[in-house]
A and B are shown apart, each in its own frame.
Chain A
Amino acid sequence: MDMSQYLALFVSETREHLTAMGDLIVALEKSPSNTADVDSLFRSAHSVKGMAASMGYGDIADLAHALEDLMDRVRKGEFVFDGGVADLLLEGTDILQHAVVAVSGGGDGRCEIKDLCRRVADFTPGAAPSKPAPQPPPPAPPPEPAAGGTKPSGAAEPLQTVRVRTDILDRLVNVTGELVTCKNHLLSLCRDDFPEEVGGALTDLSRLLRSLHNDVMQVRMMPLATIVDRFPRLVRDLGRKQGKEIEFVIEGREIELDRSMLEELSDPLVHILRNAVDHGIESREVRLAAGKRYQGKIVLAARRERDQVVLSIQDDGKGMDPAALVATAVKKGLVAPEKAQKLTRQEAFLLTCLPGFSTAAAVTDISGRGVGMDAVSSSIKSLGGVLAIDSRQGAGSRIVLRLPISVAIIQVLLVAGGNMTIAVPVTSIIRTAEVRRREISSKGAHKVFSLDDQAIPILSLNRILGLPLAPVTGESLSVLVAEMKGRLVGLLVDRFIGQQEVFVKPLGRPLSRLRGISGGAILGEGQVVFLLDIPNLL
Chain B
Amino acid sequence: MSERVSRLLIFRVHGVRYGLDLYDVSEVLETFTLYPIPRAPATLRGAVNSHGILIPVVDLGNYFGSGPLAEQGTLLVLDRGRANCALLVERVEAVVPFEEAIGEDVSTEPEFARLLKLADGPVRQLSFDGVVEGVERVLQSC
Contacts and interface: CB of A to CB of B under 8 A. Distances in A.
Contacts of B140: 513
A511 B84 contact: yes
Given A509-B132, A511-B56, A520-B54, A528 B35 contact: yes
A181 B40 CA distance: 25
A528 B47 contact: yes
A527 interface: yes
Contacts of B85: 508-511
Interface size bucket, B side? 20 to 34
Interface in A475-532: 505-511, 513-517, 520-522, 526-530, 532
A154 interface: no
A532 B56 CA distance: 16
A164 interface: no
**Max chain A C-beta neighbours (<10 A), residue from B35, B38, B139, B142:** B38
B139 A513 contact: yes
**Max chain A C-beta neighbours (<10 A), residue from B39, B40, B139:** B39
A276 to B, nearest CB: 30
A178 to B, nearest CB: 6
A511 B35 contact: no
Contact of B83 (A510, A521, A522): A510
B84 A181 contact: no
A420 interface: yes
B136 interface: yes
Interface residues of A, number: 30
Contacts of B132: 509-510
A178 B139 contact: no
A527 B39 CA distance: 18
Nearest to A422: B38
Contact of A510 (B38, B47, B52, B135): B135
A522 B40 CA distance: 18
A520 B35 CA distance: 11
B52 A178 contact: yes
A190 interface: no
A517 B38 contact: yes
A514 B52 contact: no
In terms of DSSP, what is the predominant structure of the interface of chain A? mixed
A419 interface: yes
A506 B33 CA distance: 20
B75 to A, nearest CB: 14
Contacts of A522: 49, 52, 54
Nearest to A517: B38
B116 interface: no
B97 interface: no
Nearest to A182: B52
A420 B83 CA distance: 25
B52 A181 contact: yes
B48 interface: yes
Contact of A509 (B35, B44, B52, B84): B84
B53 interface: yes
A530 B52 contact: no
Interface in B13-64: 33, 35-40, 44, 47-49, 52-54, 56
Interface in B113-130: none
Contacts of B52: 178, 181, 522
Interface in B83-142: 83-85, 132-133, 135-136, 139-140, 142
Nearest to A419: B36
Nearest to A528: B35
Contact of A515 (B39, B56, B83, B84): B39
Given A507-B84, A517-B37, A529-B35, 9 more contacts: A467-B38, A508-B84, A509-B82, A509-B132, A510-B83, A510-B135, A511-B37, A521-B54, A527-B49
13 contacts: A465-B38, A509-B84, A510-B133, A511-B56, A511-B85, A514-B142, A516-B38, A520-B47, A522-B52, A522-B54, A526-B33, A528-B48, A530-B38
Interface of A: 178, 181, 417, 419-420, 422, 465-467, 505-511, 513-517, 520-522, 526-530, 532
Q: Which 4 A-B pairs have the closest CB atoms?
A: A508-B84, A528-B35, A513-B139, A510-B136
